[in-house]
Structure 1
Amino acid sequence: MSSDIVSGQYRFFDARVLRSRRLGPTMVRITLGGEQLRAFTSGGRDQSFSLFLPHPGQHAPVLPDRTGEGWFAAWRAVDESERAVMRSYTIRAQRREPDELDVDFALHGDLGPASRWAAGAGPGDRVVLLGPVIEDNRSVGFRPPDDTDWVLLAADETALPAVGGILEWLPPHTRARVFVEVPNAADIQDLDAPAEAEITWLVRESAAPGVDGPLLAAIRAAELPAGTPYAWIAGESGAVRALRRHLVGERGFDRRLVGFSGYWRLGTSEEQLLAEKLAAATG
């Protein structure tokens, strides 16, 4: 996002935790607020942003420079035990007057830095966001063409906030087939969706996540509508790749009409994934 800051599409925002609410055994909703969020402009759907969090014992995230392209290099130069924890998240909802953002966190069993912060977050805790100031920004991935006949959404719990945002954005009479895998039955949420959307909840329970979870099997067995589809898949990287192969190779979906994103990878920690992304960004 360095060049986008220079071009004026993104900027940094200081914010504070207003409140926290558990949505289920593995999901917590953090509501952020602050005067600077008046300029934050979400494009809705699966709008992502970068969230910077403090380490335990810090009163605020350590971001030494927020100016232009230099911020990333300055952040990288700080010891990783001190510099702000950086993660990508989805805006679940945005409200005005007062300016508030809801961000849903999946609480993984290993409780990495971001999950640990979310589990203990309380009013007044300080964070920094790097997000859009224009609605039509490149951090919105869900973009079905105008001639789409129906939409397929497939996700695990980590992408559930994006699924909720997408369903609320869809026009009222959009045909949609939605498959969401969650760890426990208590993680199932009430989602606002078009009348013609069919939502299938898949409870993992003792099954392993990823390719061995119920999501891939359910879609392979599903009878899908006719017509031109647009698919959006997000969640564990291995399952996302397998689903994309199935849709393109076995179902005949146009690969250009299958949006996909690996939010996490089985057997890999948040820190390992971040290290890979940083290496790719500077390689």
Structure 2
Amino acid sequence: MTTTVAPATAPFRFFDVHVVRTRRLGPSLMRITFGGERLDALACGGRDQRFKLFLPQPHQDRPVFHDTGDGWYAAWRAQDPAERAVMRSYTIREQRPHAGEFDVDFALHGAEPGAAVTAGGPASRWAAGARPGDRLTVLAPVVEDNGGVDFRPPTGTDWILITGDETALPAIAGILSWLSPGTRAAVWIEVDHEDDRQQLPTFADAEVTWLVRDRAAAGSGEPVLDALRAAELPGGTPYAWVAGEAGTVKAVRRHLVRERGFDRRAVKFTGYWRRGATEEDLIAELTAGTAPDED
């Protein structure tokens, strides 16, 4: 199995980009293609490559920054929240350097066209209404081997376990397309609608299970966790990649470590979002050192 050693630093650079085109992938998912100058310098590491996306406030035509140098984060935090760019983390779904483009898939979280203006979060609402020419800024990698790639199975891994919801679907698709031929993978993906299911090309020997939420039974169970508990997992040394809603991610990790005996160092887990919390809430918790324990 191919493995990659994490670099000591994660060099990223700001890029001004604009919307080139949009395409609806399903009831809950929108693909937006971005273009811009100097995008040949953007070096996506593939797999679950994440980057920072900055949206303008509703009254602005582009994000406003006071500093895009090494002190950008402190300057961004110090800005008036009514003027400060809305920051979100996303996955680069696909990059086409020759065309100066890259794709990002957005989960709309209820902000589908025609929904109430308060539905979903700022990024979901923006994506639902995005039009060619809309401008924003991204903080993206300029080297392929960068700290924004988390999927790194160690030497000696026999098989891969992957779980996620629609917010993790772009990363899961990138991981599956990256896996070497013959790699054994067991994948569970939770989505809101049957039509959110996608073709996920891969050379791996992957078994993908789609879990469509039962809206009538919402809140009465955890589809991914329930499916895992009932699953017969392969033998050998596993590596797990778990992403999606933070509460579900935490429960899945505990199940794998405590009930399945996974080495906790072989479980990469990431909360992409949390019920009842905005990314601003999560950033504030991290800054203050009050983020919930994930062990």
TM-score band w.r.t. shorter chain:
over 0.9
CA distance in 2, matches of 1:147, 1:179: 23
Deviation, 1:273, is: 2.6
Partner of 1:4: none
Partner of 1:95: 96
Deviations 1:179-219 (A, max 9, x none): 0000110111111123510000000031436x923111001
Partner AA of 2:197 in structure 1: I
CA distance in 2, matches of 1:24, 1:213: 22
TM-score of the superposition, structure 2-length normalised? 0.89
Partner of 1:190: 199
Partner of 1:208: 218
1:249 to 228, 253, 258: 258
Counting only pairs closer than 5 Å after superposition, residues 47-196 of structure 1 correspond to structure 2 as 47-68=49-70, 70-109=71-110, 110-196=119-205
Partner of 2:23: 21
Cα RMSD of the aligned pairs, angstroms, is: 1.6
Deviations 1:208-258 (A, max 9, x none): 36x923111001100111111100000111111111111111111111100
Q: CA 1:213 to 1:15, structure 2 compared with 1: closer, same or farther past 3 Å?
A: same
- Whether the 8 Å contact between 2:39 and 2:97 is mirrored in structure 1 is no
Deviation, 1:272, is: 2.5
Q: CA 1:121 to 1:277, structure 2 compared with 1: closer, same or farther past 3 Å?
A: farther
CA distance in 2, matches of 1:280, 1:264: 18
- Whether the 8 Å contact between 2:185 and 2:204 is mirrored in structure 1 is no
**Matched residue of 1:164: which SS?**
helix
CA distance in 1, matches of 2:34, 2:169: 19
Deviations 1:107-139 (A, max 9, x none): 113321111111111111111111111111111
Q: CA 1:195 to 1:137, structure 2 compared with 1: closer, same or farther past 3 Å?
A: closer
Partner of 1:264: 273
CA distance in 2, matches of 1:81, 1:239: 32
CA distance in 2, matches of 1:252, 1:76: 41
5+ residue gaps, structure 2: 1-8, 111-118, 291-295
Deviation, 1:277, is: 3.5
1:231 corresponds to 2:240? yes
Partner of 2:285: 276
CA distance in 1, matches of 2:78, 2:124: 24
CA distance in 2, matches of 1:47, 1:8: 12
Structure richer in helix, relative to its length: 1
Partner AA of 2:74 in structure 1: A
**Matched residue of 1:17: which SS?**
strand
TM-score of the superposition, structure 1-length normalised? 0.92
**Matched residue of 1:97: which SS?**
helix
Deviation, 1:268, is: 2.1
Partner of 1:3: none
**Matched residue of 1:277: which SS?**
helix
- Whether the 8 Å contact between 2:241 and 2:269 is mirrored in structure 1 is yes
- Whether the 8 Å contact between 2:180 and 2:204 is mirrored in structure 1 is no
Partner AA of 1:23 in structure 2: L
Partner AA of 1:148 in structure 2: T
